[in-house]
Amino acid sequence: MSNTPIRLAVVDDHILFRKGLHALLSGFAGMEVLFEAGDGEELLEHFDQGLVPDVVLMDLQMPNLDGLQTTRLLRAQYPHVRVIIISMHDEPELIESLRAEGAHGYLLKNADPEQVQSAIRTVMRNGSEAWSRVLYN
């Protein structure tokens, strides 16, 4: 197993949630939060500056560039970056559309910390094959 930490980005327009998720992720062994962003545009600005994470944990509903639009752009421009959408919505049609657009996983915002850690490790290990193992509610 590599000693290189999994590099993460946290994207959510709600500052308190974003800061809390950042703090949670920073406590996981073998993981490093590179940066936070308030929406997809800010995320892509970090990418343009050379800060490209391994996994993006991203809210679905955000201003300017939402999670679905951003996932589409990441699939085209950065196909190696894993995307886990985090949302409070659990409609099967929505979740399936996110999968079809290239998201690697989906977590509800009330997921347990262990589920978040497991989801990150699973998408890193299994890539697009991880979907069925990263759908937590």
The DSSP bridge partners found for residue 35 are 9
pLDDT at 130: 59
Comparing C-alpha atoms, which of 25, 29, 30 is closest to residue 57?
25
Q: What is the pLDDT of residues 97-124, one digit of tens each?
A: 888 899 999 999 999 999 999 999 999 9
Mean pLDDT of 71-98: 92
Pick from 52, 57, 60, 71: nearest CA to 22: 57
Q: What is the pTM of this model?
A: 0.91
Q: pLDDT tens across 45-65, in order? A: 999 999 999 999 999 999 999
Give me the pLDDT at residue 137, please: 41
Is the confidence at residue 136, as pLDDT, over 50? Answer: no
User: DSSP readout, 2-14?
Assistant: --SPEEEEEE-S-
Query: What is the mean predicted confidence (pLDDT) over 8-37?
Result: 97
- pLDDT confidence of residue 17: 96
* Interior angle at CA 135, CA 134 and CA 136, nearest 5: 105
Q: What distances in angstroms separate CA 118 from CA 78, 79, 107, 112, one per listed residue?
A: 23, 21, 11, 10
- Summary mean pLDDT of the chain: 90
